[in-house]
A and B are shown apart, each in its own frame.
Chain A
């Protein structure tokens, strides 16, 4: 009887449920295995404070900008990894697909090669090439039924071979196109930075307010408004705070500002979050990852979803590869960095994306990559070797997955 009233009182507004209070909601979430972003935000704060106190050059405006640039490549790849993991699949090829993306732009812009195309055109071409690689690999997974681990492991070797083959003689290709190099090295002027922060905050406000305002006839309770206001305020503080710090960066009397990679990450984050949460495609990705058989019975074209996800993975890998190459203005035999693939997957997993499929958010990739980049940067500025960085990153990954596994077991238990 009372349960019927609960169903009736359900606020008919897009967004999460609003039970008794924030605290009880958090307790309920933790009890059901939905840890959200709380552990990772707490962890990140702890890491920042720790290095702020122990590493001398860590807590500076310049280093703040450095972390953003250093995390950008990994973040882009991790965005794609989120979609692949949501399906319960894996893509091991993305490291070298990123390399193919970088090689493609480098080749296309190469002066004196007869096809020195502008970077503005070369970059979309590279992204399309890598999406096609995703289409090929995804089709083999979805239509033939070869496990994604095997298909993408083959891709790992094949694309590595292609890169080595092309760069064997020159050793490296220098990227001179300014548009390509801007993706890692452009800084907004202070004023432009403020405008970016303002427009990001404004857009976000629009996105979260429109569903509330168009909930015509249905009452939106005060708590929902309060929560929305808190979200907007939180994002505003993050955006303006980032710009404020970046605008203080000065290197050799040259004033830095908000780096372009920060904006690129936000754009891709927004686009992919929209895709995952607000479109039928995104809904079907979660459904296939949760129960592929149920999705198939519900009439969802499971193969099509799988193929598109691998295309997204290829496209984001290309984006990441371009930024990483632009950072060093070249593509060399050592490209991409050996840690790129595993760091990208680790970023998504640390960000709360389940390896078992069906659970996680796009923003998790950004948060996870931020943790990895901060740890690497902090240990580096504190004078530790690469070996230490690997060990610490590995332990954080292990800790994050352990947390996920425990949370999952709690969820199963509370379900029965």
Chain B
């Protein structure tokens, strides 16, 4: 109870400007262990900017970032990775010519004196995929170019998860996928939450959001509009918040729909 009451990641009053553009204004955000937090909003709402501040691509101009209850400074992707934050980008950071095992260990190959430990990587890849119930990949020795979009996205997600990561951020994970493949990836996202990871999913697609998320954070024009419990809200309510939501006041932890009003 105490463990889940402290959010894994907490942002307080985060501000980010690009020149004269105010991308984020006093934004609060949190995600707990075992929770899939959806981050939604219209184009230009600041979703990507917020995530990039967490991933280390951008540095926040103001505000606090707390990870496991402690203040942290994330200055680059390596800082984020050290904390256990992994990002799966929209455009699939996979090498088509390499096979599943090679992609899973890309840049972090198991080796002894620079000589690859191929059997070790193969075995552990099989174990990781099995633990995530990624069962549709015909062979982990096949180049990812021969896999379907959903299978490739599954590999990208599994790659992010296998490094003892605590927080996985998915940027539009189903953007380029068909119906069946989308279901496959969404099921994987739900499993990540069930396994105790904190998951942030950015999506334009409210169907995806309601399929996976436990809570939904809505941003509009770089400000908080609200946080909704999936079970107590409706798509109409979220759409209204995205398109015409009134920014909540700045300070304090975002209130959930259940506790507010």
B129 interface hit (Cβ, 8 Å): yes
Tell me which residues from 280 to 299 in chain A have a Cβ below 8 Å from any Cβ of chain B.
280-281, 283-284, 286-287, 289-291, 293-295, 297-299
From A263-271, A338-346, A408-416, give the one contacting chain B. Answer: A408-416
> Which chain B residue shows the least CB distance to A2?
B135
Complex: how many Å from CA A412 to CA B107? 25
User: Which residue of B108, B109, B119, B136 is within 8 Å of A12 (Cβ)?
Assistant: B119
Contact yes or no, A358 B93, CB < 8 A:
no
> Which chain A residue shows the least CB distance to B149?
A416
B187 interface hit (Cβ, 8 Å): no
Complex: how many Å from CA A347 to CA B64? 59
User: Which residue of B94, B116, B122 is within 8 Å of A10 (Cβ)?
Assistant: B122
Contact yes or no, B126 A298, CB < 8 A:
no
From B18-26, B139-147, B230-238, give the one contacting chain A. Answer: B139-147
Contact yes or no, A14 B98, CB < 8 A:
no
User: Which residue of A1, A211, A300, A411 is within 8 Å of B107 (Cβ)?
Assistant: A300
A248 interface hit (Cβ, 8 Å): no
B138 interface hit (Cβ, 8 Å): yes
Complex: how many Å from CA A17 to CA B17? 51
> Which chain B residue shows the least CB distance to A287?
B95
> Which chain B residue shows the least CB distance to A358?
B97
Complex: how many Å from CA A211 to CA B130? 24
Contact yes or no, B146 A12, CB < 8 A:
no
Q: Please, what's the 1-or-0 string for B107-138, where 1 marks a CB less than 8 Å from any CB in chain A?
A: 11101001110110011001001100111111
- CB contacts (< 8 Å) of A293 on chain B: these are 93
Q: Please, what's the 1-or-0 string for A271-283, where 1 marks a CB less than 8 Å from any CB in chain B?
A: 0000000111101
> Which chain A residue shows the least CB distance to B81?
A299
Contact yes or no, B97 A286, CB < 8 A:
yes
Tell me which residues from 1 to 59 in chain A have a Cβ below 8 Å from any Cβ of chain B.
1, 3-4, 6-8, 10, 12-14, 16-17, 19, 32
A215 interface hit (Cβ, 8 Å): yes
Nearest chain A CB to B130's CB is how many angstroms away? 6
Nearest chain A CB to B156's CB is how many angstroms away? 10
Complex: how many Å from CA A287 to CA B108? 12
B194 interface hit (Cβ, 8 Å): no
B96 interface hit (Cβ, 8 Å): yes
Q: Please, what's the 1-or-0 string for B14-46, where 1 marks a CB less than 8 Å from any CB in chain A?
A: 000000000000000000000000000000000
B153 interface hit (Cβ, 8 Å): no
Contact yes or no, A4 B139, CB < 8 A:
no
Nearest chain A CB to B152's CB is how many angstroms away? 9
Max chain B Cβ within 10 angstroms of own Cβ: one of A7, A211, A295, A358: A7
User: Which residue of B108, B130, B148 is within 8 Å of A7 (Cβ)?
Assistant: B130
Contact yes or no, A297 B93, CB < 8 A:
yes
Contact yes or no, B108 A6, CB < 8 A:
no
Complex: how many Å from CA A287 to CA B104? 12
> Which chain A residue shows the least CB distance to B135?
A4
- CB contacts (< 8 Å) of A299 on chain B: these are 78, 107-108
B102 interface hit (Cβ, 8 Å): yes
Contact yes or no, A358 B115, CB < 8 A:
no
Contact yes or no, B147 A8, CB < 8 A:
no
- Chain B, interface size category, equals 35 or more
Nearest chain B CB to A13's CB is how many angstroms away? 6
Please judge, given known A-B contacts A7-B130, A12-B123, A283-B109, whether A358 and B114 are in contact too, CB under 8 Å.
Answer: no
B89 interface hit (Cβ, 8 Å): yes
Contact yes or no, A283 B108, CB < 8 A:
no
Please judge, given known A-B contacts A10-B122, A290-B96, whether A278 and B115 are in contact too, CB under 8 Å.
Answer: yes
Nearest chain B CB to A339's CB is how many angstroms away? 30
Nearest chain A CB to B162's CB is how many angstroms away? 13
Contact yes or no, B141 A16, CB < 8 A:
yes
Complex: how many Å from CA A416 to CA B139? 16
Complex: how many Å from CA A298 to CA B162? 14
B253 interface hit (Cβ, 8 Å): no
> Which chain B residue shows the least CB distance to A19?
B139
Please judge, given known A-B contacts A13-B119, A290-B98, whether A298 and B106 are in contact too, CB under 8 Å.
Answer: yes
Please judge, given known A-B contacts A281-B114, A298-B108, whether A1 and B135 are in contact too, CB under 8 Å.
Answer: yes
Nearest chain B CB to A145's CB is how many angstroms away? 21
Q: Please, what's the 1-or-0 string for A327-359, where 1 marks a CB less than 8 Å from any CB in chain B?
A: 000000000000000000000000000000011
Contact yes or no, B148 A416, CB < 8 A:
yes
- CB contacts (< 8 Å) of A289 on chain B: these are 97
> Which chain B residue shows the least CB distance to A275?
B114
User: Which residue of B95, B138, B141, B142 is within 8 Å of A294 (Cβ)?
Assistant: B95
- CB contacts (< 8 Å) of B77 on chain A: these are 297
Contact yes or no, B107 A17, CB < 8 A:
no
Contact yes or no, A8 B130, CB < 8 A:
yes
- CB contacts (< 8 Å) of B140 on chain A: these are 7, 10
Contact yes or no, B122 A4, CB < 8 A:
no
Please judge, given known A-B contacts A7-B129, A8-B126, A10-B141, whether A295 and B97 are in contact too, CB under 8 Å.
Answer: no
Nearest chain A CB to B115's CB is how many angstroms away? 6
- CB contacts (< 8 Å) of A215 on chain B: these are 119
Contact yes or no, B95 A14, CB < 8 A:
no
Complex: how many Å from CA A114 to CA B136? 71
Contact yes or no, A7 B137, CB < 8 A:
yes
- CB contacts (< 8 Å) of B130 on chain A: these are 4, 7-8
Complex: how many Å from CA A408 to CA B11? 47
- CB contacts (< 8 Å) of B148 on chain A: these are 415-416
Contact yes or no, B135 A3, CB < 8 A:
yes
Nearest chain B CB to A281's CB is how many angstroms away? 7
Contact yes or no, A3 B94, CB < 8 A:
no
Please judge, given known A-B contacts A278-B116, A280-B111, A283-B109, whether A294 and B93 are in contact too, CB under 8 Å.
Answer: yes
Complex A-B: 7 CB contacts under 8 Å: A13-B122, A215-B119, A283-B109, A283-B116, A295-B106, A297-B89, A298-B107
- Apart from A3-B136, A290-B98: 4 A-B pairs, beta carbons within 8 A: A12-B126, A289-B97, A291-B97, A299-B107
3 tightest CB-CB pairs across the interface, nearest first? A298-B107, A290-B95, A290-B97
